[in-house]
């Protein structure tokens, strides 16, 4: 008979307990040493994971007629763009559910239009006003409104002031007719309780009986650009599940090869709106002129064709055409939100933020977020879109530009907008581009740890913005060849130059007939801008599309050791180029290199030489300095020769993070602009130069 010791040692229970203890110790040790990894090992793991993901990712659903290999978004003769996973393992730690941002101040008044007259409507009961503002009687509240009009894109002009008091007997106050902008203030007991900017956009006159009897024809196609700043295609798939589900039930095409062509919103959208690059505009209509009044934009063409035109953004300080210039002296479109947003920023703006370690800060006016003002603008214009052909551009930047997780909070907002467009019948005669300009370039305080933009996938996503086209079903029936081309181009390399040509075609629908499309296809060149109603040539690459190598997703990136001599020399060359650029600005401190965070070989897959290729225009020539001849041959981790490198580096002072692509041979030179991936606005307050501010750390 076994003794007690033997029973304890050799029993099944003891063996099981021993195994559990061993597994627990293994997990604890693995977790401990795993957490000791520095930035370099984190980046290396992320790079390898995406390399594996590219081989296993299934191609998202698409209406394209092409059969595309599963691991590529684009797989043509001129471009191989590897697929990404929206929910790759290394992305998951950055995803958090944000608390709703509430603007805490009272929304005392709203606007209403009744029988063509504009009214301010008192929006609260007396008990609510007592609770929020300590007001006992409505008669204790005295108010004044100032009407203002737009002078130009920098200044508004006040044209009158009226005083009034709130009353329980009268909840409406008539203020005028037509388009009106009002700045309103209310106070009680010597304290301001309401400060807001409101606007009126009257609906169009009702159609006559004759117009009501006349059936709606499709002679003209309206255009709506619904833009969401800093939204990559992958981030759309992560953040807009309800929008994606809604769109799946509609005729649409999702474009997987849409590649950014410029550093920021201005550079990308200017190509869409004018068909020209910023440099080309500076050499022509914008030369020596701080406004864009002499430049021709797409809305000018649509206006000349009898369309109603509208343009609105949920900011005036960081909007597309005034952030780096003075915008327009003459109002560019018939309906224009900028005067409202300008008055909000100057007179009624304040900030609200969520609580906690992972917080966000948003801009408000009274009880509304900036985005609510943009949504109000869109909804008030829908009666006009319903009745008359229209061209509209609505651009949202607040929140999504700065915070990784904010996009998820506006999913329902855009479903409501799309549903309203559908229910009002506007979708039945409108081409809608749901799009962005680039992916997230900065990370805010809604995430912790290493910035998402510093990961390999974060770097790649910056250059793959969202683009989805929604169109009426009758277009496929009326223009079968043009729409087949549109769907086939869903897996072609595209830029905003192509979108410009596409929207020009909308003005001339007769050009989309099968006969015209066939005729135009025979004479098609491999140009930088091609209408999506025509077939994008398989030979197109980043050179012919004029996409700088630094933004080009057709390259297969292969990691290089940051300690390679070629990498260190390239990083120092980038730093010297930046310091040469800021040298004429004594208020900017010279930068010094802290660390090369990562490096990649851009020469692993050379783009094929295409006949009739358009030579690539130089970008930011001021940042290019003459480099030394390179008499060495570097190699990447796979043993391939290196001729072109992308480096990611950190600098001081200012803790800057920069990315740049450098050609090594025969002489070093920058291949495209240097980009920055950390927030720098508060550090560059001493300069007001678009080309300098991202490099300047003020003394």
Cα 668 to Cα 291, 324, 487, 615, 630, distances in angstroms: 37, 30, 41, 19, 7
Rounded CA gap, 440 and 460, in Å? 10
Residue 325: per-residue pLDDT? 66
CATH topology of domain 109-200: Immunoglobulin-like (2.60.40)
Whether residue 247 has a cis bond before it, omega within 30° of 0: no
* Gyration radius (Cα) of the chain, Å: 29
Q: How confident is the model at residue 68 (pLDDT cuts 50, 70, 90)?
A: very low
Highest mean pLDDT among 155-169, 235-249, 288-302: 235-249
- 198 touches 111 (CB < 8 A): yes
3-state secondary structure of 494: strand
Residue 47: per-residue pLDDT? 38
- 659 touches 646 (CB < 8 A): yes
DSSP-assigned letter for residue 224: E
- Tokens linked to 494: 């595209």
Rounded CA gap, 679 and 361, in Å? 15
| Average pLDDT estimate for 77-95 | 91
Rounded CA gap, 335 and 340, in Å? 11
For β-strands 349-353 and 335-336, DSSP reports them as unpaired
Q: Chain-wide mean pLDDT for the chain?
A: 84
Q: How confident is the model at residue 470 (pLDDT cuts 50, 70, 90)?
A: very high
pLDDT digits (tens, 9 = 90+) for 582-641: 999 999 999 999 999 999 988 644 444 444 433 333 333 333 333 433 333 344 455 555
| Average pLDDT estimate for 482-504 | 98
Which is more confident, 678 or 584?
A: 584
pTM: 0.84
Residue 467: per-residue pLDDT? 98
| Average pLDDT estimate for 519-533 | 94
Residue 323: per-residue pLDDT? 74
Q: How confident is the model at residue 57 (pLDDT cuts 50, 70, 90)?
A: very low
Residue 627: per-residue pLDDT? 40
- 435 touches 468 (CB < 8 A): yes
| Average pLDDT estimate for 324-328 | 78
Segment among 54-68, 278-292, 665-679 with least mean pLDDT: 54-68
Q: Is residue 50 pLDDT above 60, yes or no?
A: no
Q: What is the DSSP string of 579-596?
A: HHHHTT-TTBPPPEEEEE
Q: Is residue 452 pLDDT above 60, yes or no?
A: yes
Residue 678: per-residue pLDDT? 84
pLDDT digits (tens, 9 = 90+) for 103-140: 999 999 999 999 999 999 998 877 888 888 888 888 88
Q: How confident is the model at residue 20 (pLDDT cuts 50, 70, 90)?
A: low
Residue 535: per-residue pLDDT? 97
Segment among 440-449, 476-485, 658-667 with least mean pLDDT: 440-449
| Average pLDDT estimate for 439-458 | 79
Residue with tokens 């009009």: 149
Residue 71: per-residue pLDDT? 84
- 467 touches 450 (CB < 8 A): no
CB count in 10 Å sphere of residue 85: 19
Q: Is residue 34 pLDDT above 60, yes or no?
A: no
| Average pLDDT estimate for 663-677 | 88
- Of 625, 647, 682, which Cα lies nearest the Cα of 564? 647
Burial bucket for residue 176 (CB in 10 Å: 0-12, 13-18, 19+): middle
pLDDT digits (tens, 9 = 90+) for 154-196: 999 999 899 998 887 788 899 999 999 999 999 999 999 999 9
Residue 494: per-residue pLDDT? 97
Which is more confident, 699 or 313?
A: 313
- 468 touches 252 (CB < 8 A): yes
Segments of the chain assigned to CATH 2.60.40: 109-200
């Amino acid at each position: 008979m076994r003794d007690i010791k033997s029973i304890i040692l050799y029993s099944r229970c003891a063996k099981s307990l021993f195994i559990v203890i061993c597994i627990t110790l293994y997990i604890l040790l693995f977790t401990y040493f795993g957490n000791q990894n520095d930035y370099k090992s984190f980046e290396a793991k992320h790079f390898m994971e995406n390399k594996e993901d590219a081989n296993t990712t299934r191609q998202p659903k698409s209406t394209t007629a092409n059969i595309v290999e599963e691991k590529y978004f684009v797989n043509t003769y001129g471009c191989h763009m590897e697929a990404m996973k929206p929910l790759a393992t290394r992305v998951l730690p950055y995803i958090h559910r944000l608390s709703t941002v509430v603007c805490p101040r009272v929304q005392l008044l709203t606007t209403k239009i009744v029988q063509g007259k504009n009214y301010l409507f008192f929006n609260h009961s007396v008990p609510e006003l007592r609770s929020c503002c300590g007001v006992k009687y409505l008669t204790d509240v005295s108010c004044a409104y100032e009407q203002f009009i737009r002078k130009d894109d920098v200044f508004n002009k006040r044209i009158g002031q009226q005083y009034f008091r709130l009353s329980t007997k009268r909840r409406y106050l008539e203020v005028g007719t037509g388009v009106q902008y009002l700045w309103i203030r209310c106070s009680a007991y010597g304290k301001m309780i309401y400060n807001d900017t409101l606007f009126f956009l009257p609906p169009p006159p009702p159609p006559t009986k004759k117009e009501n009897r006349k059936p709606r024809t499709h002679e003209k196609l309206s255009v709506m650009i619904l833009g969401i700043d800093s939204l990559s295609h992958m981030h759309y798939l992560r953040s807009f599940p309800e929008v994606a589900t809604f769109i799946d039930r509609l005729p649409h095409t999702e474009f997987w090869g849409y590649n950014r062509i410029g550093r920021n919103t201005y550079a990308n959208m200017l190509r869409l709106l004018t068909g020209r690059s910023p440099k080309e505009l500076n050499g022509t209509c914008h030369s020596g002129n701080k406004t864009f009044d002499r430049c021709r934009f797409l809305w000018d063409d649509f206006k000349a064709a009898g369309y109603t035109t509208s343009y609105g953004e949920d900011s005036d300080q960081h909007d597309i055409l005034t952030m780096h210039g003075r915008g327009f002296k003459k109002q560019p479109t018939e309906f224009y939100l900028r005067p409202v947003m300008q008055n909000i920023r100057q007179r009624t703006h304040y900030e609200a933020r969520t609580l906690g370690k992972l917080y966000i800060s948003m801009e408000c006016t009274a009880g509304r977020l900036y985005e609510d003002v943009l949504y109000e603008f869109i909804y008030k214009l829908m009666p006009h879109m319903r009745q008359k052909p229209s061209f509209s551009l609505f651009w949202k930047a607040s929140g999504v530009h700065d915070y990784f997780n904010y996009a998820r909070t506006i999913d329902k907002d855009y479903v409501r907008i799309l549903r309203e467009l559908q229910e009002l019948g506007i979708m039945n005669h409108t081409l809608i581009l749901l799009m962005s300009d680039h992916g997230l370039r900065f990370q805010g305080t809604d995430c912790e740890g290493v910035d998402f933009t510093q990961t390999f996938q974060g770097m790649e996503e910056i250059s793959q913005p969202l683009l989805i086209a929604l169109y009426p079903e009758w277009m496929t029936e009326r223009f079968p060849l043009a729409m087949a081309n549109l769907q086939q181009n869903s897996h072609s390399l595209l830029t905003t130059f192509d979108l410009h040509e596409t929207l020009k075609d909308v003005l001339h629908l007769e050009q989309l007939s099968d006969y015209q499309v066939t005729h135009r296809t025979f004479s098609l060149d491999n140009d930088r801008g091609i209408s999506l109603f025509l077939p994008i040539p398989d030979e197109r690459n980043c050179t012919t599309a004029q996409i700088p190598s630094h933004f080009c997703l057709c390259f297969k990136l292969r990691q290089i050791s940051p300690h390679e001599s070629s990498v260190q020399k390239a990083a120092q060359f980038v730093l010297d180029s930046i310091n040469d650029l800021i040298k004429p600005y004594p208020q900017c401190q010279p930068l010094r290199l802290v660390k090369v965070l990562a490096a990649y070989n851009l020469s692993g897959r050379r783009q094929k030489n295409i006949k009739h290729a358009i030579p690539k225009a130089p970008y930011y020539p001021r940042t290019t300095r003459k480099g030394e001849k390179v008499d060495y041959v570097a190699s990447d981790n796979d043993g391939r020769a290196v001729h072109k490198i992308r480096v990611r580096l950190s600098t001081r002072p200012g803790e800057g993070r920069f990315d740049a692509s450098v050609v090594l041979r025969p002489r070093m030179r920058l291949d495209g602009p240097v980009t920055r991936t950390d927030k720098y606005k508060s550090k560059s307050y001493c300069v007001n130069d678009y080309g300098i501010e991202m490099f300047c750390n003020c003394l």
